[in-house]
Amino acid sequence: MAFNRSKNKNGTSNHSIRPLDSNTKSNDQINFINYTQYYCVGIIDIINSTEETSKLTNPNKLRKYYSLFLNTMSSIISSCNGKIVKNVGDNLFYYFPKTSDETNESAFHDVFECGMRMFSSRAMLDRQLSQHALLPINYRVYMDYGKVEIAISANSKDVDLFGSVVNDCSKMSSMVPSNEVGVGKKLYDIVNKFQFIRNYNINKINLQNDNKLSKNFGYFYSMSKSKENQREEAILNYSKEQKRTIQNHLARTLDNTSVNIMLIDDDEDILFTFNVILKRENYKVKIFSDSIDAFKHFTTESPYFFDLIIMDVRMPRINGIQLYYKFKAINPYIKILLVSSLDLVQELVDSMPEINLNDIIKKPIQAEDFILKVKSKISY
């Protein structure tokens, strides 16, 4: 069985959510996607970097100084399921998308493990700096939990976050001692009920020396390493936890009834056909013929409810490319397959470096090939 469709669709939007594709006629540099979320956010910055870098007259050494630090920390953040929002000079602003669920202990464990890895990597970073005749770098981290507004850069499609928690982190980071991790009260109150927090030493610090900050925040918590045997046990337990997560994921991929798929297409015939094929394989499918309805459901249900989204590229109101960036801004880990006619495939790949040919379902397609594509994406 094969299916195809050829309709003239302009892909424009008449919804209050601003379009985010290359045809958008706007001078706005930042587009808010009308979505509020709660995340753990963090800032890591170098202490006295201006003073240190002023001594570096060699531009190559200056570049090496920053690149070694920023690249090392970026790698650690990524390994702990964090996402870099941006870097400004000597600091990195990042967040952990999976902490949107306050009951997700593993996600918050990643947050604390990230802080520990940042400082356990100091010896390695110092050796690399020394090899280039550069002095060791002292740095600090501050993390907290709070409400943010999500926006997307009009040009790069990068995600940006705005909210009081972001401003608070920026203010509070200057209060953290050198080579320490500061943890805000809101974040501490959440993780205090989790078992893993017993593996960390959390020391309350009053801000009596700053009346303004004390009034706004009261105090924060400084997180330091626990005893070595506790740390080893924590790493061992976390490794076991990761293995269980992988095993559970593999088990789920073998049981299609536990896989939730969102299907979006304004063509009722295509929608019906895809739905029949997927349900024949026992997948749980939620169908939408309206892209705005699909986006609203995605945000009100749970950004992490669906395992896969399959959607057409050319749709009225909000097209597939616009939806792609909105979904990814809210849940960077969501898996998406785009459905496109053959003449658009190369254009998609050229215009969206985030995707590759394996992320595109070309029409017409046989039912067997369609299922293979879906299974491959889910199990990847």
Res 191 pLDDT > 90: yes
| pLDDT cut 90: percent of the chain above it | 43
Q: Give, in order, the Cα–Cα distances in Å from 340 to each of 168, 320, 321, 344, 362.
A: 44, 10, 11, 6, 5
Q: What is the pLDDT of residue 98?
A: 93
Tens of pLDDT, residue by residue over 53-110, are 778 888 888 889 889 999 999 999 999 999 999 887 788 999 999 999 999 999 999 9
How large is the greatest C-alpha to C-alpha distance in the chain, in angstroms? 74
| Fold annotation for 255-379 | Rossmann fold (3.40.50)
Please state, in angstroms and rounded to a whole number, the distance separating the CA atoms of residues 166 and 93. Answer: 9
Q: Which fold has domain 30-250?
A: Alpha-Beta Plaits (3.30.70)
For 66, counting Cβ atoms within 10 Å of its Cβ (0-12 exposed, 13-18 middle, 19+ buried), the class is middle
Per-residue pLDDT, averaged over 277-299, amounts to 94
pLDDT digits over 355-377, tens only? 888 888 888 889 999 999 999 99
C-beta atoms surrounding 251 within 10 Å: 10
Q: Are both 30-250 and 255-379 of the same fold?
A: no
pLDDT at 113: 92
Q: What is the pLDDT of residue 227?
A: 47
* pLDDT at residue 323 tops 60: yes
The angle subtended at Cα 176 by Cα 171 and Cα 182, nearest 5°, is 90
pLDDT bracket for residue 249 (50, 70, 90): low
Per-residue model confidence (pLDDT) at position 43: 95
Asked if residue 17 has pLDDT above 50, the reply is no
Averaged pLDDT, 117-133: 90
The mean predicted confidence, pLDDT, of the chain is 81
CA geometry: angle 140, 144, 147, nearest 5 deg: 140
Summarize the confidence of residues 290-302 as an average pLDDT: 91
Domain locations in the chain as residue ranges: 30-250, 255-379
Q: How confident is the model at residue 245 (pLDDT cuts 50, 70, 90)?
A: low
Task: State the pLDDT at residue 109.
Answer: 95
Query: Mean pLDDT throughout 170-174?
Result: 85
Does 7 score more than 60 pLDDT?
Answer: no
Query: Where is pLDDT greater, at 219 or 177?
Result: 177
Q: pLDDT, tens digit, for every residue of 126-149?
A: 999 999 888 889 999 999 999 999
Which of 34, 32, 117 shows the shortest CA–CA distance to 72?
117
